[in-house]
């Protein structure tokens, strides 16, 4: 039985020597070393995985926030752009004539088809837009006042049975929303008013101007 007495002052006891031998033997064991390595590796991997998950969650949250902020900015810009079109309409199906004066064509159409008397001075901007070549080039008209535009637009029902169609001048974003709404709800339940897409639902008329608005209508359809 080993003793626990120390040798000279400052010496190492027999118990310390025995403990050191045991440690040395354990460290010399390849099997034990591999177990230590494996345990350390697993621990490190778990810690890294946890840390990475935390950062991924933070990144995903920031990306969602960024998308929401970008959508808000896009909606504000779209609303501003639509406001600049508040006095404008687009007219489709008006036959094109050689050397025509488009403003006079619009004035005559309004008087003859809509019974709306306007003058050339009521028109701020008026010209034809490019087309696919298979149909008449549409006409875009900007009136000097909103009430004149409203008068023309609200009398467009008188064009029923003709080749002429009048629509509001929508932004590209709202035009895409309008087309999608028509595809989902049908043309008889979708129209526009003051630059907004109106949808007739079972619970009443809903108006939308953004992708989120339309998505909400579809979910509650």
Edge to edge, the sheet with strand 123-128 lists: 123-128, 139-143, 88-92, 165-168
Q: What b-and-e string marks burial along 171-202, b requiring 16 or more CB atoms within 10 Å of the CB?
A: bebbeebbeebbeebeeeebbbeebbbbbeee
In a domain, 9, yes or no: no
Whether residues 92 and 163 fall in one domain: yes
The boundaries of the domain holding residue 114 are: 87-169
The parts of the chain modelled with pLDDT lower than 50 are 1-9
**What sign does the dihedral 161-164-168-172 (CA atoms) show?**
positive
Domain count across the chain: 3
Reported as a single tens digit per residue, the pLDDT across 83-108 is: 999 999 999 999 999 999 999 999 99
Whether residues 73 and 96 fall in one domain: no
Q: Give the model's pLDDT for residue 140.
A: 98
Give the domain-ending residue among 169, 189, 207.
169
Report the 3 state secondary structure along 127-153: EECCCCCCCCCCEEEEECCHHHHHHHH
């Amino acid at each position: 039985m080993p003793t626990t007495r120390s040798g000279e002052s400052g010496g190492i006891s027999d118990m310390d020597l025995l403990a050191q031998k045991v440690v040395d033997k354990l460290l010399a064991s390849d099997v034990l070393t591999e177990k230590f390595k494996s345990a350390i590796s697993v621990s490190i991997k778990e810690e890294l995985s946890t840390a990475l998950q935390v950062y991924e969650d933070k990144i995903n949250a920031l990306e969602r926030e960024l998308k929401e902020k970008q959508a808000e900015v896009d909606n504000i810009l779209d609303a501003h752009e639509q406001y600049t079109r508040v006095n404008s309409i687009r007219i489709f199906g008006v036959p094109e004539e050689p050397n025509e004066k488009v403003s006079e064509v619009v004035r005559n159409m309004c008087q003859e088809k809509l019974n709306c008397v306007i003058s050339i001075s009521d028109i701020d901007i008026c010209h034809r837009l490019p087309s696919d070549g298979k149909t008449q080039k549409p006409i875009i008209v900007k009136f000097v006042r909103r009430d004149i535009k409203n008068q023309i637009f609200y009398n467009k029902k008188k064009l029923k049975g003709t080749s002429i169609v009048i629509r509001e001048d929508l932004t590209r974003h709202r035009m895409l929303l309008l087309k999608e709404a028509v595809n989902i709800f049908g043309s008889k339940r979708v129209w526009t008013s003051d630059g907004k897409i109106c949808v007739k639902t079972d619970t009443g008329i809903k108006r939308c101007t953004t992708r989120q608005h339309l998505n909400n209508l579809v979910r509650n359809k």
